[in-house]
Structure 1
Amino acid sequence: MTTLTKTSDAPAPTGPESFLSVRDLKVQFSTEDGIVKAVDGLSFDVERGKTLGIVGESGSGKSVTNLTILGLHNPRTTTVDGEIVLDGKELVTATEKELEKLRGNNMAMIFQDPLTALSPYYTVGRQLSEPFMKHNGASKKEAKDRAVQMLEKVGIPQPEMRFDDYPHQFSGGMRQRAMIAMALMCDPDLLIADEPTTALDVTVQAQILDLLKDLQQEFGTAIIFITHDLGVISNMADDLLVMYAGRAVERGSVRDVLRSPMHPYSWGLLSSMPRLDGNIHEELTPIPGTPPSLLNPPSGCPFHPRCAFKDEVEGSRCTDERPSLAEGRAAACHLTAEQKQTIFIDQIQPRLR
Structure 2
Amino acid sequence: MTTLTKTEGAPSPTGAGSFLSVRDLHVRFSTEDGIVKAVNNLSFDVERGKTLGIVGESGSGKSVTNLAILGLHNPRSTEITGEITLDGQELTGASEKTMESLRGNKMAMIFQDPLTALSPYYTIGRQIGEPFRKHTGASKREARERAIEMLEKVGIPHPKTRVDDYPHQFSGGMRQRAMIAMALVCDPDLLIADEPTTALDVTVQAQILDLLKDLQQEFGSAIIFITHDLGVIANMADDIMVMYGGRAVERGTTGEVLRAPQHPYTWGLLSSMPRLGGDVSQKLRPIEGTPPSLLNPPSGCPFHPRCEFKDKVPGGVSCTGDRPLLPEGRGAACHLTPEQKRTYFIEQIKPRLG
Aligned ranges 1:6-45 → 2 under 5 Å: 6-15=6-15, 17-45=17-45
- Is the CA contact 1:105–1:187 (under 8 Å) kept in the aligned structure 2? yes
Partner secondary structure for residue 175 of structure 2: helix
Aligned-partner Cα distance in 2 for 1:16–1:286: 39
Aligned ranges 1:68-217 → 2 under 5 Å: 68-217=68-217
Partner of 2:350: 349
- Is the CA contact 1:271–1:286 (under 8 Å) kept in the aligned structure 2? yes
Partner secondary structure for residue 41 of structure 2: strand
Which residue identity is paired with 1:117?
Answer: A
Partner of 2:235: 235
Aligned-partner Cα distance in 2 for 1:8–1:117: 37
Q: What is the root-mean-square deviation in Å for CA atoms of aligned residues?
A: 1.1
Partner of 2:339: 338
Partner secondary structure for residue 323 of structure 1: coil
- Is the CA contact 1:10–1:24 (under 8 Å) kept in the aligned structure 2? yes
Aligned-partner Cα distance in 2 for 1:200–1:277: 22
Q: CA deviation at 1:276?
A: 1.1
- Is the CA contact 1:80–1:92 (under 8 Å) kept in the aligned structure 2? no
Residues 1:274 and 2:274 are matched in the alignment: yes
Q: CA deviation at 1:315?
A: 3.8
- Is the CA contact 1:183–1:191 (under 8 Å) kept in the aligned structure 2? yes
Which residue identity is paired with 1:138?
Answer: A
Which residue identity is paired with 1:325?
Answer: L
Aligned-partner Cα distance in 2 for 1:221–1:3: 27
Which residue identity is paired with 2:333?
Answer: A
- Is the CA contact 1:268–1:286 (under 8 Å) kept in the aligned structure 2? yes
Choose 142-151 or 211-220, whichever is displaced more. Answer: 142-151
Q: CA deviation at 1:17?
A: 4.6
Partner secondary structure for residue 80 of structure 2: strand
Q: CA deviation at 1:59?
A: 0.2
- Is the CA contact 2:195–2:227 (under 8 Å) kept in the aligned structure 1? yes
Aligned-partner Cα distance in 2 for 1:163–1:235: 31
- Is the CA contact 2:26–2:42 (under 8 Å) kept in the aligned structure 1? yes
Partner of 2:304: 304
- Unaligned ranges ≥5, structure 2: none
Aligned-partner Cα distance in 2 for 1:70–1:222: 14
- Is the CA contact 2:108–2:183 (under 8 Å) kept in the aligned structure 1? yes
Aligned-partner Cα distance in 2 for 1:168–1:292: 37
Partner secondary structure for residue 19 of structure 2: strand
Q: CA deviation at 1:6?
A: 1.1
What per-residue deviation string (whole Å, max 9, x for no partner) do you get for residues 232-268 of structure 1? 1100000000000000000000111011000000000
Partner secondary structure for residue 317 of structure 1: coil
Which residue identity is paired with 2:299?
Answer: S
Aligned-partner Cα distance in 1 for 2:316–2:9: 31
Aligned-partner Cα distance in 2 for 1:17–1:221: 16
Partner of 2:327: 326
Aligned residues: 353
Aligned-partner Cα distance in 1 for 2:333–2:15: 22
- Is the CA contact 1:49–1:220 (under 8 Å) kept in the aligned structure 2? yes
What per-residue deviation string (whole Å, max 9, x for no partner) do you get for residues 292-324 of structure 1? 100000000000011100111124521111111
Q: TM-score, normalised by structure 2?
A: 0.98
Aligned-partner Cα distance in 2 for 1:203–1:346: 35
Aligned ranges 1:257-272 → 2 under 5 Å: 257-272=257-272
Q: TM-score, normalised by structure 1?
A: 0.98
- Is the CA contact 2:62–2:226 (under 8 Å) kept in the aligned structure 1? yes
- Is the CA contact 2:267–2:349 (under 8 Å) kept in the aligned structure 1? yes
- Unaligned ranges ≥5, structure 1: none
Partner secondary structure for residue 310 of structure 1: coil
Partner secondary structure for residue 7 of structure 2: coil
